[in-house]
Amino acid sequence: MSKKFICHAAELVTCRGKAPKYGKEMSDIGLIEDGAVLIEDDKIVAVGTTEELSSRFNLSGCEVIDATGKTVLPGFVDSHTHFVFGGYRADEFSWRLRGDSYMSIMERGGGINASVTKTRNATMEELVAEGKDRLARMLEFGVTTVEGKSGYGLDKETELKQLRAMKELGKLQPVDIVSTFLGPHSVLPEYKGREREFIDMMLHEVMPQVRAEDLAEFADIFTEKNVFSVEDSRYYLNEAKKMGFKLKIHADEMVQLGGAELAAEVGAFSADHLLKASDQGIADMAKAGAICTVLPATAFCLKEEFARARKMIDEGAAVAVASDLNPGSCFTNSIPLLIALSCIYMGLSVEEVITALTINGAAAVDRADRVGSLEPGKQADIIFLKYPSIHFLPYHTAINLVEKVMKNGEIVLEK
Ligand code: NIG
Ligand code: FE
């Protein structure tokens, strides 16, 4: 058995809990000064002050990791990404800088459909190689669990190829991957006006295979004007639920359609984006306990107004913050950028954004029982920051402070 003792952390953030934190609870991150963590193999055995643990446990034979002057936190959970895709769309970014809108580029054949062509043309090996590199970049930012979606295939073969690539990646590198099926991500021209047929094709021809190979836990849909309506989304999500999928929704991103209300109605784990979510939608989500996943880097890159995360928390909702890494609307997985935008533009405190990136992110991907906090029984997924306080996270603006990452009890990255 391997035993490790992390000690003398200037600030140890526990985020203790096995469920999402709602409203005011998001401010309670369980901070311990001169903190320590005892680890056996891949699991946390005890958390407390260095003095407490030193007196309670026999530490002989432990590998000691001195965290003097450092902040120690649970590994971050990036609970919404599209990190497996073929090709890039740098041209679209320059068009947007010129003033074109995301939806107008999509309507003239660019956007998601452009990535569909490139992803169909990519081999499984290429998707795995690129995906592996992206996961390594995430780990540098302290991300130890990530959600990834399909949705750049829109046909059986390519949707399965994306999901199989993610399954393979789970075996090749340390970051844990939670997979989401997002077949209804866009409508190809041949399906315009026949969206329900497209959804039925996904439900009957693709998703049974996804279940059979255990390729995705969640089902997601892009509910948006000129993409999938609320009625089609309701139908898809309810059918997916019957098949055993947990639910997520890309909701109220560009137009207020009622995606947040739908998330509450169908019992989704989360609704994501929510830039235009209505007061009613936010209230419904808070009442239903569904997690509001906000993606501030996407709003930033699209020059859209940020989601009303402050209001969501004040209304008692649980908020998660995630990157949305994808080849179009948001080609960044920068956690420091997310922290800066959350604190400076969305009005979150440092404590709230830490909760949003740890235990609430874990809850949004149904992993709050095993990651997202530092407490006995959980996976030893732990990150070490260069500075002695959480307050350096927004203050050293958009700079990566992660010096060391432990995954399942092993140091997997050290600067
Ligand atoms: O979450 N909004 C829909 N889907 C993605 C964008 C995908 C893309 O532009 O390729 C998102 O932002
Ligand atoms: Fe997305």
Mean pLDDT by 10 residues, the chain (415 residues): 97 98 98 98 98 97 98 99 98 95 91 97 98 98 99 98 98 98 96 97 98 98 97 98 98 98 98 98 98 98 97 98 98 98 98 99 98 98 98 98 98 97
pLDDT of residue 1: 86
Q: From the CA of 47, how far away is ligand 2's center (Å)?
A: 35
Neighbours of ion ligand 2 (CB under 5 A): 324
pLDDT of residue 341: 98
Cα 67 from Cα 385, distance rounded (Å) = 9
Q: From the CA of 326, how far away is ligand 1's center (Å)?
A: 7
* CA neighbor of 261 nearest in space, from 252, 183, 273: 252
- Tell me the three state secondary structure of residue 404: strand
Q: Which residues of 99-113 are buried (b: 16+ CB within 10 A; e: fewer)?
A: eeebbebbeeebbbb
Q: Under a CB-based contact definition with an 8 Å cutoff, are residues 338 and 79 in contact?
A: no
Pocket around ligand 1 at a 6 A CB cut-off: 82, 111-112, 115, 222, 250, 253, 298, 324, 326-330
Q: What are phi and psi of 343, to 5 degrees?
A: -80, -45
CA distances (Å), origin 78, targets 50, 121, 332: 30, 27, 12
Task: Kindly report the length of the chain.
Answer: 415
Ligand 1 site-directed mutation target among 329, 330, 332, most atoms within 8 Å of CB: 329
Ligand having the closest approach to the CA of 298 = 1
Cα 356 from Cα 281, distance rounded (Å) = 19
Q: Which atom of ligand 1 is nearest to the CA of 272?
A: 1
Q: Please report the domains of the chain, with CATH numbers, ordered by start residue.
A: 3-74+373-414 (2.30.40.10), 77-364 (3.20.20.140)
pLDDT of residue 109: 87
pLDDT of residue 407: 98
pLDDT of residue 117: 97
